Copies of this chain bind each other. A is one copy, B any other.
Amino acid sequence: MGPVRPARTQAERRRHTRQALLDAVLLQLEAGESFDALSLRSVARAAGVVPTAFYRHFESMDALGLALVEESFRTLRAMLRDAREGLPPEQVIHRSVEILMEHVRQHRAHFIFVVRVGYTGNVVLRHAIRGEIRLFTSELATDLARFPVLREWTTDDLQMLAGLLVNTMIATVGATVDAPVAAPAAEAEIARVAEKQLRLTMLAVPHWRSERSPR
């Protein structure tokens, strides 16, 4: 069965174990562990590496967590990009939910990480994630501004609307990753509700009058 050490160059080897550490955490999260309950040692062990080797890559579990925040939000932004283009103006909502569910299925661990750790006790990670979510919301607000109905909305109102939509998304993701893996019926039900909620929200848009610019 040949040598099992495929990483030849030193840089390759480094990248490889680093990723093994990150993946080890994601795997344990997916298995139901809580991030703050993970020990450096268990992570190293799961990555097939001795505890001391951990420090060659991250100075602490927090640092590793921050790396995961980056990695996860790369995924989230890719999703937003997918949603941005190729959205038939009718059924924007239906397609958006489809795209969301699709991404959750494909990057389950990343979404679990964001949705779980974003509410954890760990202050530094929680704030990092909440900050990224704020950014994410702002990006969505900018996207929304392109819709004709929303063209005259104030930035403040757009943020408020984007926040509402993101809340719904987060709750949807939370429900999805909580449901058993690959349970199409449960997923479909969750998607159905999410779609209704988004439809209802958007239904209000034409009737909104901001207090701030009441003209």
Contacts and interface: CB of A to CB of B under 8 A. Distances in A.
Given A37-B37, A196-B157, A123 B32 contact: yes
Contact of A119 (B116, B163, B204): B116
A164 B168 contact: yes
A193 interface: yes
A208 B197 contact: no
Contact of A126 (B33, B127, B168, B178): B178
Main secondary structure of the interface of A (DSSP, over half): helix
A25 to B, nearest CB: 12
B121 A29 contact: yes
Interface centre among A115, A196, A201, A207, by most chain B C-beta atoms within 10 angstroms, is: A196
A70 interface: no
Contacts of A157: 196
Interface in A150-183: 157, 160-161, 163-164, 167-168, 170-171, 174, 178
Contacts of A203: 204, 207-208
A171 to B, nearest CB: 4
Contacts of A120: 34, 116, 119-120
A142 interface: no
Interface in A172-215: 174, 178, 193, 196-197, 200-205, 207-208
Contacts of A207: 203-204, 207
A118 interface: yes
Contacts of A35: 34, 121
- By Cβ-Cβ distance, the 3 closest A-B pairs, closest first, are A34-B121, A204-B204, A34-B36
Interface of A: 29, 32-37, 115-116, 118-123, 126-127, 130, 157, 160-161, 163-164, 167-168, 170-171, 174, 178, 193, 196-197, 200-205, 207-208
17 contacts: A33-B121, A35-B121, A36-B37, A116-B121, A119-B119, A119-B174, A160-B196, A164-B200, A164-B201, A167-B170, A167-B171, A170-B171, A202-B204, A203-B207, A204-B204, A204-B207, A207-B207
